[in-house]
Amino acid sequence: MDATFSADAYLDRIGLAAPPRVTADGLESVHRAQAYTVPFENFDILLGRGISLDPAEVFAKLVTRRRGGYCFELNGLLETALTAFGFTARPLLARVHLSGTPTSRTHLLLLVTLDGREWLADVGFGGPGLRAPIPLELNTALEQDGQTFRLVERPPFGIMLQTAAGADWQDLYSFDFGHVVPADIAAGNHFTATHPSSFFTFTRVAALPKPDGRLSLADAALKIAAGDAEQKLVIPDDERYLAALEQHFGIALDAPYSALPPLPRAR
């Protein structure tokens, strides 16, 4: 087992009483538990701290200090945990298509091989992403917590993950199975955490799926979705913002509110 990884501390962080069995059910239990407890967030970027991908530092941030992170951290932690528990997993890089224009390969997800069957695992999308792993099978609609996903071929991008949006399908991200090395991940992380055009360098973001809905934050706009209902709140632009982060997402920033970049002015 990786010396930087404590199974007991990780399981306590995600609320599991025991290590998972190396089965499809065990894979799903870990995936759901981490997705529902460790939030997606980018506040260290906005605080000028950067994003380290060193496994020990990721573990210290997400588990010991009980913070969140984005795909490179969240799925990096999941890969470390799955490997420690005996699963076989490797990283893949994807292009995000939410805006209609594909990004560079700046989203990290995992391919898990289990008893000769391959699964996609992803606890780090932040948007309307997976709650549980899905088998690598094309043109098969799968429902998770009221949300439906499918994988389709999409040349020249490879395979596209889509989610149902009414009568249509929304493209989420595309990927292929090219071998990914640490330098690929470091390059994607550097761009995402530092480039002026990266959404994460100028927008406050947090998200946390729940079995019956989802919490999401963009700057001061908080959405609380539960079942068919959605509540929209505006978080005050003062120290109460930090209290709201902790209340809704469990994010306790060790920095004063004044350390964050100012919120954009409403137009």
- Beta-strand ranges (E) seen in the chain are 40-41, 88-96, 105-114, 117-121, 134-135, 142-144, 147-153, 159-165, 168-175, 205-210, 213-218, 221-226, 229-234
* CA-angle at 189, arms to 147 and 102, nearest 5°: 55
Is residue 171 flagged as an active site residue?
Answer: no
Instruction: Work out whether the CA dihedral 48, 52, 56, 58 comes out positive or negative.
Output: positive
* CA-angle at 193, arms to 190 and 199, nearest 5°: 130
Is residue 122 flagged as an active site residue?
Answer: yes
Three-class DSSP category at 32: helix
All residues at 6 or more sequence positions from 92 whose CB lies less than 8 Å from its CB, including other chains: 108, 109, 110, 111, 175, 176, 177, 178, 180
Cα(165)–Cα(161) distance, integer angstroms = 13
Of 31, 44, 122, 248, catalytic: 122
Is residue 2 flagged as an active site residue?
Answer: no
Within 13 Å and on the Cβ side, how many CA atoms surround 136? 18
Of 31, 44, 97, 107, catalytic: 107
Of 71, 97, 171, 248, catalytic: 71
Catalytic residues, by residue number, are 71, 107, 122
